[in-house]
Amino acid sequence: MTVPPDVYFTQYSFAAKDAPTRRTLSDRLSDVVNVLDWGADPTYSSDSTAAIRAAIAYGASVGNHTVYFPPGDYLIGNPPLSMGQGPGTMMWFVGAGKDATRLRGNYSSSTSREGSYLVQKTGPYDRIWGMTVQNDSVLPYTGAFLDPWGTNNLVEAVDCRFVGIIAYEVSWGWITYDYPNHWGVVTYGHGIRNCEFICSAAIPRADAASYLPPAGSTGVGTGCGRMSGCIVKGFDVGIALAGYGLAVFGNHISQCNVGIDMQQDYRRSGLSYMSGCSVFSNVIERCNTGLYVRGIGGTYAAANAIIGNGGVPNSAPIQNMSWNAATHVVTVQTPAAHNIAGPTATIWLDQVNPSAWTPDGSGTQRVTATITDATHFAYAGPSAQPPTFVSGSWNRALTGPEIQVRGPTAATMRANVCASNPTGLSVQWDVGSIRAFESVCMAMQGPNGWSPPAHFDPNMWGPGAGDGYTTSTEFINCGTTNQPPVAWMQYADIGRGTYQGRSYDIVDAQPTAIGGIVSGGGGNNHYKIYFNGTNWIRVA
């Protein structure tokens, strides 16, 4: 019997079941480029950057752009890792899930604004799916993932976790601030869904020593496209938005200084960098300020729930409470340092049991505490001896305002809920300079108070009255009970709204009868006035 010559296994071709074409297993295995085949180390003990780069380069060379990362921790020791091979290519990074596949490193070569990002994409059609990208650096302007400014289209991040001081940056959103000649964030069709964005510094709780996260830390700085189903935790700014055509909805943002920053800063650019956007049904929890609307055009923010301490986990436990019969002061002992900067701070007592230990007997109350030492603080308690203390916890009270508005443009704000119960106002309008026009704000309550738009400041814009945009926001069914943001306007606030049929409520009219012409301010009459095409007429 003659033994036929061998076929080496790697050259042995065979067909898939019922399929006509024979292929070798080696060829089949390169259908998806697997980083382990290129020597990546899934145990985090040696640097995988070169291996992953080689895998990407090979994929690009043969037109195969799906790179699979099996479960494991991959050390990115020589960052940045670029996803694609430059413009014109595309790349899919596929992991085995955000707990299974992790790309990690500590990258901080540049702490200037260009920053250091562990992974960045370079092609226009890239996708990253099912993995964690984590930069352990806690220095400013370092981050996990960068989608750089340029020709970026149709990028998608799905089921990923990004950990960094700046977890995910699209197009260097800060360009919007500093370089007005750049038209902000330009990515088209960018999609982010069901991702997590975690601050790589210790996630501060509302009761932590560094109450504010590292300044400048940002969960997501993003532009066009869609962001939904995401979880954002522990940043200075949770989601910083700029760009055109963006839907941000169904996200959960917690423990940030500002939840969502709708960020056009017109003081520098004079241009609206955010338009055609919708921001809705986001839950913003335990953030100092929920929505910061710095200037939006053709955009709406609706049905966002800004909620506070109530029912929130991670509040700090109370170990012991004692009551002084002479002063009626309750002294609280915390099992660890309480981190209240002192000498006094407003804190929120949570679920104190029995409830009699809170001054109002509610079991949940905001009080002003005086710091006695690292593990004790005290507050004015009930007038009678409370029953035996069982359990309780406390949080630092949020300071708010829950919604800050600084000049909406052709925008709608509606049906947003303020339920943080901050120590400050619920809604603060016109923070700083003002340029608002033709906007609508409706169906919004400010249970903790509402500061109305400021009056027109003729020195802020151009030559003076007549060029004002100030109060062209119409408020419909808004306001704190019996304290709505209407009827604050002065005659001088009427800017460009001089067309027939426009009406305003003003508070400084000179006296005239119904139907008479209202020609100026300086009086003290509250009138509803109507522009008949020529004059402002008193109608009520």
Alpha-carbon distance 440 to 184, whole Å?
Answer: 25
| List 109, 327, 477, 519, residue binding other proteins (CB under 8 A) | 477
Contact call for residue 404 and other proteins (CB under 8 A): no
Q: Which of 251, 61, 245 is nearest to 153 (CA)?
A: 245
Site for other proteins in 479-538 (CB under 8 A): 479, 481-484, 486-487, 505, 513-515, 526, 528
Query: Of all helices (H) and strands (E), which one includes residue 55?
Result: helix 49-62
Q: Which of 42, 128, 133 is nearest to 79 (CA)?
A: 133
Judged by CB under 8 A, the stretch of 77-85, 168-176, 228-236, 451-459 that binds other proteins is 228-236
Site for other proteins in 418-437 (CB under 8 A): 419
Give every CB contact of residue 450 below 8 A, 6+ residues apart in sequence.
425, 426, 427, 428, 429, 478, 479, 480, 483, 484, 485
Select 168 or 174, whichever has its Cβ closest to other proteins.
168
Judged by CB under 8 A, the stretch of 149-157, 225-233, 375-383, 494-502 that binds other proteins is 225-233
- Do 402 and 429 touch, CB atoms closer than 8 A? no
Site for other proteins in 366-385 (CB under 8 A): none
Contact call for residue 329 and other proteins (CB under 8 A): no
Q: How far is the CB of 283 from other proteins (least distance, A)?
A: 4
Contact call for residue 16 and other proteins (CB under 8 A): no
| List 110, 210, 320, 353, residue binding other proteins (CB under 8 A) | 353
Alpha-carbon distance 386 to 314, whole Å?
Answer: 25
Cis geometry, peptide bond prior to residue 484 (ω within 30 degrees of 0): no
Which one-letter amino acid corresponds to residue 529?
I
Contact call for residue 473 and other proteins (CB under 8 A): no
Cis geometry, peptide bond prior to residue 80 (ω within 30 degrees of 0): yes
Judged by CB under 8 A, the stretch of 106-114, 204-212, 375-383, 388-396 that binds other proteins is 388-396
Site for other proteins in 268-287 (CB under 8 A): 280-283
Site for other proteins in 70-89 (CB under 8 A): 70-72
DSSP for 265-277?
-HHHH-S--EEEE
Contact call for residue 20 and other proteins (CB under 8 A): no
Site for other proteins in 233-262 (CB under 8 A): 249-252
Contact call for residue 53 and other proteins (CB under 8 A): no
Encoded tokens for 162: 């990004």
Judged by CB under 8 A, the stretch of 65-73, 138-146, 206-214, 369-377 that binds other proteins is 65-73
DSSP for 443-510?
EE--TT-EEPPPPP-TTTSTTSTTS--TT-EEEEEESBTTB-S-S-B-GGG--S--STT-EEEEEEEP
Contact call for residue 25 and other proteins (CB under 8 A): yes
Give every CB contact of residue 2 below 8 A, 6+ residues apart in sequence.
none
Select 224 or 301, whichever has its Cβ closest to other proteins.
301
Site for other proteins in 154-213 (CB under 8 A): 158-159, 193-196
Contact call for residue 3 and other proteins (CB under 8 A): yes
